[in-house]
Copies of this chain bind each other. A is one copy, B any other.
């Protein structure tokens, strides 16, 4: 872990995106939830997401050996059920399937494709490093129309633990090194809208970009993100001129 934030950073050579919340809008399920449960859609989407993250952390923390690991899809279903019960909503099988199907085909943020095209034009590899299962990620990028622009798709599945376990970020680096053996962690720009994920990536040693779409306050746990922006486009200036990618 890098304790020298003021050391000049080397040019960025690759980009890894978080998926859920970053490329795909996890709260886009709220609209569908609102149709089924008028007045409660947003609350359900929020509790669902919170519980999904909690469960992913609990199984990771409680057994580093992966025996308690469950695929993200299963945790997503379990957390939907808990969120509905917490709000006292009757979630029958049809409603559960409809919401799970919405989660499989989350809305993508509109600027994704344009930004990914520009990364492609710059010759930079742009992949996903996600807590999602391989099948979830594959369906999501296809559904969002960005499958041709994003590669590699890296899932925690084979590791049986979840971000921010540092083994996940290490795995992302190793996959990129299969084609770029000299790549250093600091040459990878890790992009996430999730403050906790940016923390984990920064702790690990990646150069980080916090995509703060909602204008939220920074996490009060150090270190801060290397870079921060409000839109995905804001990361392009860091990459267009490799010499200019110094600390924010």
Please list the residues of chain A having a beta carbon within 8 angstroms of any beta carbon in chain B.
Answer: 1, 50, 54-55, 57-64, 67-68, 70, 75, 78-79, 81-82, 85-86, 162, 164-166, 196, 199-200, 203-204, 216-217, 219-221
Contact = CB atoms under 8 A, between A and B. Distances in A.
A220 B84 CA distance: 11
Given A1-B67, A68-B203, A203-B68, A58 B164 contact: yes
Could you say how many copies of this chain the assembly holds?
Answer: 2
Contact of A58 (B58, B70, B221): B221
Contacts of A59: 221
A219 B55 CA distance: 9
23 contacts: A50-B50, A55-B221, A57-B58, A58-B164, A58-B199, A58-B221, A61-B61, A61-B162, A62-B164, A62-B165, A62-B166, A62-B199, A62-B204, A63-B166, A64-B64, A68-B203, A75-B221, A79-B220, A82-B219, A82-B220, A85-B217, A85-B220, A86-B217
A67 B204 CA distance: 12
Give the residue among A57, A61, A70, A220 with the most B Cβ atoms within 10 A: A61
Contacts of A64: 64
A176 to B, nearest CB: 20
Given A67-B1, A221-B78, A58 B200 contact: yes
A165 B64 CA distance: 9
Q: Which 9 A-B pairs have the closest CB atoms?
A: A85-B217, A78-B220, A82-B220, A81-B220, A62-B164, A57-B57, A62-B203, A62-B200, A61-B165
A200 B67 CA distance: 13
A58 B82 CA distance: 22
Contacts of A203: 62-63, 68
A11 B221 CA distance: 44
A60 B62 contact: no
Nearest to A54: B196
Contacts of A57: 57-58, 61
Given A57-B61, A58-B221, A63-B166, 13 more contacts: A54-B196, A58-B164, A60-B61, A61-B200, A62-B165, A62-B200, A64-B64, A68-B203, A70-B221, A78-B221, A79-B220, A81-B220, A86-B216
A221 B80 CA distance: 11
